[in-house]
A and B are shown apart, each in its own frame.
Chain A
């Protein structure tokens, strides 16, 4: 297969994907939830066969287009309905409450005790400091958000001014 054909197909595929993702609005390119990441993976895979002409450009267009359309339809439906949002994306979940871990919550988030320690260490919090945590939540994108107790919140310069 001549190289220039592969190059032209790559350009055509690129512009097509660019057009459909721009047309569908920015929300489709985000990676906020696990599912967005998988959709990006799928679209990337679908290009593969088009480059080597295992499928025609039209077929590739149908494949990539249908994925983007579905994603778009789901995003639009989820945008309108809070219930659908929670159904599709899940909820953030409290895993640590006032320094004590919530075993049931951990299990439903597929975390063991080591995992929680790792995630907190990545935030610079070791076990001695757990008592300073008011709440720790597992967010939708598997990031751990930590809310400290008021006394342990960062001090600001404004507060220093207020000292007697």
Chain B
């Protein structure tokens, strides 16, 4: 089971949104990391048959993406923004979507009961959708995407708007589900990838700037991430000369995390790299290469 994306392009008029994307996505959790507007949602929508690519080939488990009917049989899709008829109960909504997924009545009932348990929504099954919390709605989204027991689960920005506890619960749920199926997770939050994915691709302005495992992504930033402290009045000058990742107030001084190819001051100390550091470094390198 794998997804093969070869030379995929998508344009809207003269604007290119995806530019020569090539990815091989194996079984397990696969992260698609990129800033807002990088083309993640466009790629997700193409993979879920909601959009037609301008050119390129995609095969899922050997099935061409143009064969939409058969692709829809093997995918489950959770869009970034979704909702359900507000007055429908959780169970009724799942039942309705199960009918649209063409599940036989008996199987549908078994599957809904199983999924409600798995996403911990059993107690809420008679609640109206509009009365669910943000986290519950996301879990409902996962349940509906899993109705047909898909081989490929496509999840677009699932943790937006979730509080830390809900986010953690969501990571655990995804990790449980990633057995014998591909879970493709798009996000602009590097911590999501760090917590869940073994493989990752980084998108920047419609191009893949990195593809590999998370270890390899971490290595990119190794030895290039520093922390440095300086008086507050030097902050503006610092911002103009260095690539700052994060800033913390530390008494009268500023403690700053930055990346640089070379150590430019003895006061700088190398620190442990995170996925976010490497991601920021990659984006910066790419923009520099593009002349932005």
Indicate, yes or no, whether A interacts with B: no
Binding site for B on A (CB under 8 A): none
